[in-house]
Amino acid sequence: MTGLLVILFFAVVAVGNICLGFFVGVRFGPALLAGGLSARLSPNVQPTAPDPDAPPDPAASASPSADDFLDSLAGMLRNTDEYEENLKDLDDRVRKCLANADALSAEQCVSDLKAAGREFVDSQTSAALHLDQVADEADRADANQDMQHAAHAMLDETRDSLDRLDEFVLTEDNLEDYCDQLLSETGQQMQSCMSFAETVETAVDDPENPSEVAKPTVKEDVPTTDEPEHPLEPPQEAIPEAPQDEENRQGARAALQGILDAWPEDDASPRIAAVIDVDEWSAVKSRVGDEHATGILQTVAETVAKAHEDGGQLCHATGQQFWISYEDVQSEEVIKSVERIRQTVEQLQFILPEETARLTVSGGIAAADRADTAATWFQQLITAVREAKRYGRNRTFHFEGDVLTPVVSPQLEPAT
């Protein structure tokens, strides 16, 4: 009997403990569990209530999409930096080839530059596509537009350079010219990379303030115009095309120098020059073939020749570029002359066996003063036409003093 009472007593105690444990678990279990996990994750930090007056934590408020956007920009910047380092290395190698008259190494430099350029175009194109995908999620459409604008300008400059490199031919007696052309290519591409890097670095360092592509001071925005349908399908992004090879640059500078040398000291009339550059000429030649391209250029040259009627004189022409000088003509009349050429070319239709092709030109205008040299005058003209191309091509820019200004296009009678 005593044994039975002892067994019953322990049974009652056990049931009581079970009920008590269940009650404690229901009442305090969640708090105890949270405290236990917090202690395991941060054993030296005591949990505290959030301070309602504390400033928001940027890391806590940043959305994954915003991080993705900035990460994409940083990745594109790394790609650009690596390519720029390759260009600097190739630039040094070419200079050594030139100093040592090493033709074999010069050819290898061209081959390496092509390989580096193609790899860069592939990787950066993929990065630009990814940036476009995450931009809307990050609510960074405005900044993305600037980035895409700069990225495509840089990539198209690289593609154009690759096209020009394919035309490089080394012979027994042109090593110096060959290396000069190659140095020109590396220099232009490095400048393009630096311009893009400035844009991206600004966005990465200060993501709340989207940057603009580095450019000369522009007086006013280019007016929006309806672009004609263009069968040659140029890309919509503005592309700063490089001036032609060294022979063309030297010829243009020589023509400008001749104008300055012939400028009488007692002549107060201005000296103004313009450069007309066919847009996307590499794409045009590739599309229509050399024979038709020659005919197209001849037609453009005939249109440019009409500038004589506006007081202009064709002073130099090489390939797709035409240089015109004006004496004793005011800048307003020069603008009309260049715009008449541009608008006339825009309206031309070139009837080819399988299609009707159209193309456009961009213009740059700059006046010289007594302090100018041929080099400074040349650089202003090239800067103006590059800016016209960067803003979408089929435009004219001109310098008003030191300020680069887009031309507000007047409606003119075509040159016939």
Cα(385)–Cα(396) distance, integer angstroms:
7
The predicted structure's pLDDT at residue 366: 96
Judgement on whether residues 188 and 87 belong to the same structural domain of the protein:
yes
Query: What pLDDT does residue 258 have?
Result: 94
CATH number for the domain harbouring residue 399: 3.30.70.270
Q: Are 389 and 201 in contact (CB under 8 A)?
A: no
Q: Is 81 in the same domain as 194? A: yes
Q: What is the pLDDT along the chain (416 residues), one digit of tens a residue?
A: 555 555 555 555 565 655 555 554 545 444 443 343 233 223 333 434 445 455 444 444 444 456 777 777 788 888 888 888 888 888 788 878 877 888 888 889 889 988 998 999 888 888 888 877 776 665 666 667 777 777 888 888 888 888 888 888 888 788 888 887 787 788 778 777 877 777 776 655 544 444 333 333 334 333 434 443 333 333 333 333 444 456 677 889 999 999 999 999 999 888 999 999 999 888 888 888 888 888 999 999 999 988 778 889 999 988 889 999 999 899 999 999 999 999 999 999 888 887 788 899 999 999 999 889 998 999 899 989 988 887 778 999 999 888 888 887 666 665 55
| Domain co-membership, 182 together with 317 | no
Decide if 402 is inside a domain: yes
Domain annotation covers residue 196: yes
Residue 128 covered by a domain: yes
Residue 141 belongs to a domain: yes
Residue-range definition of the domain harbouring residue 97: 63-205
Q: Are residues 122 and 173 in the same domain?
A: yes
Residue that is last in its domain, among 153, 179, 205: 205
Q: Give domain status of residue 18, yes or no.
A: no
Is 133 among the domain residues?
yes
Q: Please give the Cα distance from 19 to 26 (Å, whole number).
A: 11
Cα–chain-centroid distance for residue 372? 30
Residue 231 belongs to a domain: no
Q: Which residues contact 252 (CB under 8 A, 6 or more apart)?
A: 243, 275, 316, 318, 321, 323, 378, 381
Last residue of a domain, one of 205, 237, 260: 205
**Does one domain contain both 71 and 179?**
yes
Last residue of a domain, one of 177, 205, 233: 205
Q: Which residue, 112, 107, 115, 123, is CA-closest to 90?
A: 112
Does one domain contain both 254 and 358?
yes
Q: Are 179 and 308 within one domain? A: no
278: in domain: yes
The pLDDT value recorded for residue 244 is 45
Tell me which residue of 154, 169, 146, 161 sits closest to 123, measured CA to CA. 154
Residue 96 CA to residue 73 CA, distance in Å, equals: 35
Q: Determine the Cα–Cα distance for residues 359 and 348; give it in Å rounded to an integer.
A: 8
Could you give the CA distance from residue 375 to residue 342 in angstroms, rounded to a whole number? 25
Is the domain of 376 the same as that of 272?
A: yes
Dist. CA 359–CA 279, nearest whole Å: 7
What's the pTM value of the predicted model, to 2 decimals?
0.46
| One domain, residues 397 and 254 | yes
**401 shares a domain with 257:** yes
Query: Which pLDDT value is given to residue 106?
Result: 87
Q: How many domains in the chain?
A: 2
Question: Tell me, what's the pLDDT at 183?
Answer: 79
- DSSP assigned state of 237: S
Same domain, 397 and 267: yes
Q: What is the CATH number of the domain that holds 155?
A: 1.20.120
Q: Are residues 279 and 141 in the same domain?
A: no
